[in-house]
Amino acid sequence: MINKSEVAGDLNIDSYTTLGVKATCLACRGGRLLCGKFQCPILLRLYSFLKVKDVFHSKRVFGSSPPGAFVGRMGYPHVYAGPLVPPVVGDTSLFNMPEKWLGKSVDEIVDFRTNLIRGKFIVNVKKPSKNQRFARTLLEMALSKASVDTELTFRKNPRGGFLLDNTLQPMGPSGMLTGMTAGASKTDFVVEKAYADGDLKAEDAVLDLYLNGLPVSRIQRVFSLGAFGLKERRRMVPTRWSITAIDSILSRRLIEDKVKGKRMINEHRVYEFNYLGNRFVILLIPSSWRYEWIEAWYPGTTWNPQGRRVSMGGDWEGYNGRTTYASIGGCYYSVRLAAAEFLSQENRQAGVIAMREIHPSFTMPLGVWINRESIRAAFKQKMRKFDTLREAISYIKSRFTIAMDAWIEASSLLKDALYQERIIKYF
Amino acid sequence: MFRIRVTDAMLLRDMITAISTLLDEATFDISTGGIKLRAMDPSRVAMVDFEWPKKIFDEYVCSETMKLCLNISELLKLLKRARREESVELSLEEKTNRLQITIKGKYLRTFNMPTLEPIEEEVPIPKVTFNAKAEITTEGLRQAIEDVSLVSDHVRIEIDDEKITMRATGDLMGATIELKKGDVAFLGVETKEVSIANFSLSYLVEIIKAAAATSEIATMEISTDMPIRLDFKQQQEGKLSFYLAPRIDVE
């Protein structure tokens, strides 16, 4: 018998599931297995619909790696890591560069991702050098700016069709490595310099590379292999975590250094972009920096499978930023990066309310890049200007299929902008 | 020439903490009579009005009127190193334009930090006629606000002839707190008419928590759908007041 009520409470699974299936799925997204099942039933169902490509019938693959590398998170700090190599020779960089995927169909994306065969070896994230045989070659390959000819040999034929994740890009079949040789790799001076500098903090290295124009996906790849930071503190970072780490670091630094303190925009602006059943609408309001990200999943979409009603979730931060991880996950930081990037280029300050309506035609999670790249694309479209918040809101209402009242109810910043008076009004 | 000293470091530290709830950077007006600060938070929703006359300090040397702009959060980091019964001295080094912070206790510590470009913005006092005024202990106020913040992010404050009522309604829970005549925390009320207004708790909680450390007695003034004024009574004619604009809900 358990007579301590706290202990009994911990065992009481009901207290986790009272959220209702819808909310649990939105909070977990296949990543944390909050439902208590061994595998995410939603992802499992999706896998069954994917036509599994010809299973790879060879213990050997030779091709040009985009370059690509993957670091797993299970078992941290002892994780699976390894290269991604397609059985194709030539410039394969597109396979691993989400910045260039916008506009492609789900089929195309799935197609070039399933082409990438993933080799695996086990490594201690803090001591990659102990795994001389593979970790060193993997790092050299990942630093490269162009595709690297690579040969992998496996213990058994690579297996598994496809790996879906809310943060990660889809992943193809994988197998344990027995051998790996990589051809010549070329890297840029800036990357080489950051790698060689053992006194440069990872955060500063990342920002330097970004300001030098390196694509975010490349910075993330090199970062995940532990190539940056103070010499003795370097470590490998699971790919899933490193994507969000880079989005978070870059956006925070851009906000602090290049957005705060700048002149506020004068009008209310609305930007919009549609892609694969997702409708993105961004409202910029003339105020000091603040940011909010809200997603609305229609019934029948991935993370709202059985619901009858639209499931909404979001998080926000004020001028001083936040100290806790955003409840909605990595997408919050990807969108924050796209927004901070835009404002810093405009040299302006604004309040950003970014919204995403997800329709049932969006069938599977593709990774957070879809948010980052779609918001970037939205900012390149023609904006609509409005003098008042009410006008902007009534326009947004016409763009969404979900009632505006529901958006306002879900949004802390919209409520603040609509209902909170400013003290200057009383001077 | 500018130099001030207080023998109890906590006095200065608590005051700077209260100011830091609204401001990252603050431009102080320094004159021969004392130090003043009046500024709005970055989103221009709330305002702090602060004044410390010369006599609060154990030593006060100021040869001319000047503006001194400081990074409040950095200053606070240094002041947090000081313990009770330790004395703190702030002085401006004119050649380098840096502020020197000297903490004297069991041993001597000297820090210095840069001063910033002052913000030349004159902030007026909001023009509001308050129709209801209540006096309460800061401890009582702090507890009441923390109570309502459990259920919602905004609160409805009502003052009538006999009591202060705070009401909050959240998604799931609701709360009603009453402070009335006869309660230990309740010190008095003056009303021209019953007044009701809504306020964001994210501001109120921060302000009240920090300001409660500097004062025993608070005065709350409101008018229907107008800003609130919270005055925290200071020793020796010092002044610490906050203004917060209301929330006007449509429902």
Banded model confidence at residue A300, pLDDT cuts 50, 70, 90: confident
Select from B24, B128, B247 the Cβ nearest to the Cβ of A426. Answer: B128
Q: How many domains does chain A have?
A: 2
Residues A229 and A308 in one domain: no
User: What is the structure's pLDDT at A315?
Assistant: 93
Size of interface A-B (CB pairs under 8 A): 54
For A16-20, A94-98, A402-406, A416-420, which range has the lowest pLDDT when averaged over its residues? A16-20
Look up residue A162 and give its two tokens.
Answer: 């496809």
| CB within 8 Å: B126 and A319 | no
Identify the residue with better confidence: A334 or A13: A334
Residues A156 and A232 in one domain: yes
Residues A293 and A189 in one domain: no
B17-20's contacts with Cβ under 8 Å and 24+ in sequence apart are: B17/B76, B17/B210, B17/B213, B18/B48, B18/B207, B18/B210, B18/B211, B18/B213, B18/B214, B18/B232, B18/B240, B19/B48, B19/B50, B19/B72, B20/B72, B20/B73, B20/B76, B20/B210
Nearest CA in chain B to A426: B126
At B116, is the secondary structure helix, strand, or coil?
strand
A169/A163 Cα distance (integer angstroms): 9
B64/B129 Cα distance (integer angstroms): 35
Banded model confidence at residue A49, pLDDT cuts 50, 70, 90: low
* A421 interfaces chain B, CB cutoff of 8 Å: yes
At A273, is the secondary structure helix, strand, or coil?
strand
User: What is the structure's pLDDT at A113?
Assistant: 83
Whether A5 is covered by a domain: the verdict is no
For A87, other C-beta atoms within 10 Å of its C-beta total 14
pLDDT tens column, A223-276: 999 999 999 999 999 999 999 999 999 999 999 999 998 999 999 999 999 999
* Cis peptide, bond prior to residue A67, ω within 30 of zero: yes
Residues A172 and A88 in one domain: yes
User: What is the structure's pLDDT at A390?
Assistant: 93
Whether A23 is covered by a domain: the verdict is no
Domain boundaries, chain B: 2-114, 132-244
Query: A408's torsion region: left (phi>0), alpha (psi -120 to 50) or beta?
Result: alpha
User: What is the structure's pLDDT at B250?
Assistant: 55
- The C-alpha of A425 sits at a distance from chain B's nearest C-alpha, in angstroms, of 8
Whether A6 is covered by a domain: the verdict is no
User: What is the structure's pLDDT at B141?
Assistant: 96
Average of per-residue pLDDT across B205-211: 95
| CB within 8 Å: B127 and A427 | yes
Which of B24, B44, B223 is the best substitution to test chain A (most A C-beta atoms within 10 A)? B44
Whether A15 is covered by a domain: the verdict is no
Please say if the pLDDT value at position A340 is more than 70: yes
Which of B38, B43, B172 is the best substitution to test chain A (most A C-beta atoms within 10 A)? B43
pLDDT tens column, A67-85: 999 999 989 999 999 999 9
Please say if the pLDDT value at position A165 is more than 60: yes
Q: Is the pTM of this model over 0.90?
A: no
Tokens 């006092």 label which residue? B125
Domain B2-114, architecture per CATH: Box (3.70)
Q: What's the topology of domain B132-244?
A: DNA Polymerase III; Chain A, domain 2 (3.10.150)
In degrees rounded to 5, what are phi and psi of residue B96? -95, -10
- The number of CA neighbours under 13 Å toward the Cβ of A334 is 28
| CB within 8 Å: A288 and B246 | no
DSSP code of A381?
A: S
Nearest to B67 by CA among B23, B111, B36: B36
Look up residue B10 and give its two tokens.
Answer: 């906590």
DSSP code of A401?
A: S
- The C-alpha of A398 sits at a distance from chain B's nearest C-alpha, in angstroms, of 21
Domain-ending residue, one of A202, A237, A272: A237
Q: Over chain A, what is the mean pLDDT?
A: 87
Whether A258 is covered by a domain: the verdict is no
Nearest CA in chain B to A409: B171
The ipTM estimated for the assembled molecules is 0.88
Paired sense of beta strands A117-124 and A268-275, if any:
unpaired
Identify the residue with better confidence: A42 or A232: A232
Whether A387 is covered by a domain: the verdict is yes
Banded model confidence at residue B115, pLDDT cuts 50, 70, 90: very high
Burial class (CB in 10 A: 0-12, 13-18, 19+), B153: middle
Specify the amino acid at residue A398.
Answer: S
* A11 interfaces chain B, CB cutoff of 8 Å: no
User: What is the structure's pLDDT at A220?
Assistant: 96
Domain-ending residue, one of A219, A237, A255: A237
Nearest to B92 by CA among B121, B119, B63: B63
At B43, is the secondary structure helix, strand, or coil?
coil
User: What is the structure's pLDDT at A48?
Assistant: 64
In what helix (H) or strand (E) does residue A292 lie, and over which residues does it extend? strand A290-297
Paired sense of beta strands B132-137 and B186-191, if any:
antiparallel
Average of per-residue pLDDT across B179-201: 94
Cβ–Cβ < 8 Å for A287, A417:
yes
Range of the domain at A145: 52-237
Average of per-residue pLDDT across A20-42: 73
Nearest to B143 by CA among B186, B83, B80: B186
B129/A403 Cα distance (integer angstroms): 39
CA dihedral A94, A293, A30, A216 (to 10 degrees): 30
Please say if the pLDDT value at position A343 is more than 60: yes
B153 contacts on A by Cβ (under 8 Å): 412
Nearest to B211 by CA among B184, B186, B188, B238: B238
Banded model confidence at residue A55, pLDDT cuts 50, 70, 90: low
Select from B44, B153, B202 the Cβ nearest to the Cβ of A424. Answer: B44
Whether A41 is covered by a domain: the verdict is no
CA dihedral A359, A363, A369, A374 (to 10 degrees): -30
Calculate what percentage of chain A has a pLDDT beyond 90.
59
Residues A222 and A267 in one domain: no
pLDDT tens column, A166-193: 777 877 888 999 999 998 888 888 999 9
| CB within 8 Å: B248 and A419 | yes
- The number of CA neighbours under 13 Å toward the Cβ of A210 is 22
- The C-alpha of B246 sits at a distance from chain A's nearest C-alpha, in angstroms, of 6
User: What is the structure's pLDDT at B1?
Assistant: 86
pLDDT tens column, B118-158: 888 889 999 999 999 999 999 999 999 999 999 998 999 99
Which residues are bridge partners to A331 per DSSP? none
Please say if the pLDDT value at position B42 is more than 90: no
User: What is the structure's pLDDT at A258?
Assistant: 95
Same fold, B2-114 and B132-244: no
Nearest to A348 by CA among A422, A284, A283: A284
Identify the residue with better confidence: B105 or A333: A333
Calculate what percentage of chain A has a pLDDT beyond 70.
92
Residues A224 and A274 in one domain: no
For B83, other C-beta atoms within 10 Å of its C-beta total 12
Look up residue B92 and give its two tokens.
Answer: 């401006």
A295/A331 Cα distance (integer angstroms): 10
Tokens 């006999």 label which residue? B162
Residues A221 and A268 in one domain: no
| CB within 8 Å: A423 and B243 | yes
Whether A37 is covered by a domain: the verdict is no
Average of per-residue pLDDT across B158-181: 92
Q: Tell me the angle at which helices B72-79 and B9-20 cross, rounded to the nearest 10 degrees.
A: 150
In degrees rounded to 5, what are phi and psi of residue B156? -105, 120
